[in-house]
Chains A and B, each alone.
Chain A
Amino acid sequence: MLVVIIFPVYYAFTMSTFNSKEAYSFPPRFLPSTHIWENYKTAWTTVNMGRLIFNSSFISVTVALAKIGLSIMAAFAFTYFGEFKGKFFFFTTILITHMLPLPIRIVPTYDLMRSFGWINTYYALTIPFFASATGTLLFRQLFLTVPPSLSDAARIDGAGPMRFLVNVLIPLSKTNIGALFLIEFTYMWNVYLWPMIITNSNNMRVVQIGIKMLLASEAQAADWNIIMAGTILAMLPPLLVLLIFQKTIMEGFSLKEEK
C-alpha cells in the first residue's frame, strides 16, 4: 500500500538520473541510470538554482523565526498578565488570521505592496507572514500548563516578566519551537501564489517558481530528466530540516492530541 505514496517520488528520482533518450523510452525504465550529475548541473544552471534556493531558504528561515518570536510574545501576554483592556479583541484578531487566506484579499494586498514599493523585495516575501494564529494558540496552550508556582517563585526572587520568559518559559517550549519551526519553514518553502505575483525579476524568484520556469524553459516538450532534477532539489531542504529536528518533532506531533 505504501507503494502508492513512495512510487511517484521514487520514479521522480529515477527520472532525474536518465539521459534524455532514456527519459522518453516507452515502455518507461524503472531503474536508475547514471546521468545524475549532469542533470542536476543543467537544472542548477538553467534557472539559477543557487539564487532561488538562497531566496527560499532566507524567507523560510526568517518567517519561521519571526512567527515563533511573535507568537511566543503574544501568548505570553495572554497568559501571564491577567485581564487587560482589549485582551479579548487582540486574541480574536490574531485568531482571525485563520479565516483570511490569501485568495480572499489578494488584489488589495498586492496593491498595498505596490504602494509600499515592495514589489520584488524580501519585505513583501516575509513581513506579511509574520503573525501566526497557530503559534499563538500553541504557546498559549503550553504556557497554561506551566505551574503558576514557577512564576510566583520568579516574582518572589525579583525576576521581571521578560527574564521569566527568557529563562524559564522559552527553555520549556523547545519541543513546540522545533515543531513549529518545521511547520512554518515548510509552509514558507512551499508558498507559490504569493511569490508568483509579487516578484518578477529572476533574482527574487523562489524555488517553487523555479520548477515552473524549468517546465517552461524547454519550449514545447519538457525534458523530464532535467525538470525532475530540479524538483528533487526543491524537496530536499524541508527533508533536511525534518531530519535536524526529528526528535523534537515526533514529540511535537503527538502534542496536538487533546488530553
Chain B
Amino acid sequence: MPGEEEFPRFQFSFRGGKMQRRFPNKVLPYLLVSPSIVVVIIFLVIPTIQSLYMSFFRVSPFGDRLIFVKLYNFTKLFKSTDYVHSLLITLVFAAAVVALGITIGLLISVVLNQRLKGLNYYRTLFIWTYAISPAVAGTIWALMFDPSSGPIVYIIKTLFNVKLNWMMNGNLALVIVIIAASWKMLGYNIIFFLAGLQTIPEELLEAASIDGASSVRKFFKITLPLLSPTTFFLLIMNMLYAFFQVFGLIDIMTKGGPGNATEVLVYKLYRDGFINLDTGFASAQSVVLFVFVAILTALQFKYAERRVFYG
C-alpha cells in the first residue's frame, strides 16, 4: 500500500536546506501537509495500532465480543508447527530470492557494462521487466514449468530424462517459486547495478590492468567493494520484496501448496485472517511481520548514507 511497495526507494539525505527559503505564512504549511497526514493516519497508522491491539484479543465463539487473552495468540503462534514451518519457508525463500536475484543481476550488469552500445535500449527493457507484476511473473513461470508441456520441463526431460512435476513435489515447487520471484526482480537489480557501475572511475580499472591485475581480481578488489552501497540497498529492497510482495505470485502459482510447501508468511496471514477468520491469530502474525519491516527499515536508514565499503 502507500509507500512501502513503490519500488525505487530513493536514497535521500537530511543534509542541506540551511539557507533561507521561506514564505512568511502561518497557516499554509498545515493546509499543504494535511491531505497526506490525514490519509496516513486514517488508513495506515490507526489500522496498524488496531492490529497490535487485536493481537492481544480473541473473538468470542459467537463473534460478538472480544476476550482479552494476553500473549495467548503469540504463544499459539510459536507453538503452531504450521506457523513455524511457514516462517522457515519464508526465510529460505527470501534468502534464495535475494541471493539469486543479486548474483545474476550483478553478473548481467557487469557483462552489459563492458559493451555500452545500446545501453539505453537495454535499460528500457529492464524497466519494463521491472514493471511486470508478481502475478504475471508467476503465470509466465507456471507456463515454463508446466508439467505436461512446459519448455523447461521438456529440456530437463531430454537432457536428464527426469520428468519434473512440481504439482506433486513440495521442494521442487519452492525452487520454482524462488526462480519466478527472483526473475521478476532482475530488471530492477540490473538498473541499479548499471547505475552503480557507471560511477566507478575508468582510471582505477585501467591502472589495475597496467599493474597486471586479471579481470577476476579487478572485479573482486575494485568493482565489488565500490559497488557495495548499491548492493546493500538492493539487498534490503529485495528482502522487503521477498517478504511482502510475493502474495500474487504465490496465489497464482501454488496457493501455498502442494500441502503447505510454499506457504510463506503473507500467504498464511491471508489464510488465517480472511479464510479461517481467526482475527487475533492473524493480528499476532501481522505484529511479527512488523518486526521484520522494522529491522529492515532500521538497517536501511542506518546505512543508506554511509558508503558501505569504508566500514
**A interface, CB within 8 angstroms of B:** 1-2, 4-6, 8-9, 11-12, 15, 23-28, 30, 67, 70-71, 73-74, 76-82, 84, 86-87, 90, 93-94, 96-112, 127-134, 136-138, 140-141, 144-146, 148, 151-152, 155, 160-162, 164, 182-184, 186-187, 189-194, 196-197, 208, 211-212, 215, 224, 227-228, 231, 234-235, 238-239, 242-243, 246, 249-250, 253-258
Contacts and interface: CB of A to CB of B under 8 A. Distances in A.
B40 A96 contact: yes
B183 A5 contact: yes
Contacts of B134: 190, 192
B5 A106 contact: no
Interface residues of B, number: 106
Q: Mostly helix, strand, loop or mixed at chain B's interface?
A: helix
Contact of B290 (A25, A104, A235): A104
Contacts of B287: 104
Greatest chain A CB density within 10 A among B26, B126, B132, B265 is at B132
B111 A27 contact: no
Interface in B1-48: 1-13, 16-17, 19-23, 25-26, 28-30, 32-33, 35-37, 39-48
Contacts, number: 337
A133 B125 CA distance: 27
B45 A194 contact: no
Given A183-B6, A208-B248, A215-B139, 7 more contacts: A97-B40, A103-B286, A112-B46, A148-B19, A164-B23, A187-B6, A192-B247
Contacts of A8: 140-141, 143-144, 183
A22 to B, nearest CB: 10
Contacts of B44: 96-97, 100, 105, 128, 131
B149 A133 contact: no
A133 B3 CA distance: 5
Given A5-B187, A148-B21, A192-B135, A256 B8 contact: yes
